[in-house]
Amino acid sequence: MPSSARPALVLQHGDSGPPDLLERWLRERELPHLVHPAWRDPLPGDPSRFAFVASLGSQWSPAPDSGAPGWVADEVAFLRAAVDRGVPVLGLCFGGQALAAALGARVRRAARGEVGWSDVETRDPDLIPPGPWLQFHWDVFDVPAGATEVARSATGPAAFTAGPHLGLQFHPETTPEVADGWARVERDRLATLGLTPESLLAQGRAVAERAAAAAFALFDRWYAR
């Protein structure tokens, strides 16, 4: 896969949410990239400096009543600017919600949180393999006007496309070990879903090889489009 003259911009939202498999894919495909600590440092001014923008997960939500810190609204505005300038955006969980919000769609609390490694119902398997994917979210997005829903999970839309942009509600980038850190912080909330950090880690390790292969396939197919 040829390298782009411009680097990709990866927006990270905390020390516990690294690019993980996405960064491994970028390195293996020899794609130049910059990982930016968006929760800590001001965003770059012009998104057109970048080949594409990838927005990772976060404990926060862009829902209007979420009490999120100011950088969340700043990132939604930055993604809107990227869309306006024709810079492709890949949104992963929080990033998918932020992309949906940038496109004018609603982000809201889910009726029930969704955590675990599972398949999705895909309407475009050439772009979105069925999985297994890590679901780890308590909010959901509506599909923006003019976008196309391409996958669903038990809680609602799992993926949409809007031109070159792709918003996901799941985490293709995350390994079981990183998810284990989240689960230990969220132990009480996991208990409401009948899960423990230990059961989630075992579940993830059982499918880790297939999940990583599915993630690389998704990233390859989105980038090729």
Return the active site residues: 93, 171, 173
Burial class (CB in 10 A: 0-12, 13-18, 19+), 42: exposed
Instruction: Please list the residues that pair with 135 across neighbouring strands.
Output: 116
Q: Give how far Cα 51 sits from Cα of 8, 14, 176, 207, 223, Å.
A: 5, 23, 29, 31, 10
Residues 6+ apart with CB under 8 A from 170: 92, 93, 120, 131, 133, 134, 135, 137, 153, 158, 159
| Nearest-angstrom CA–CA distance, 33 and 61 | 25
Which neighbouring-strand residues pair with 107? 141
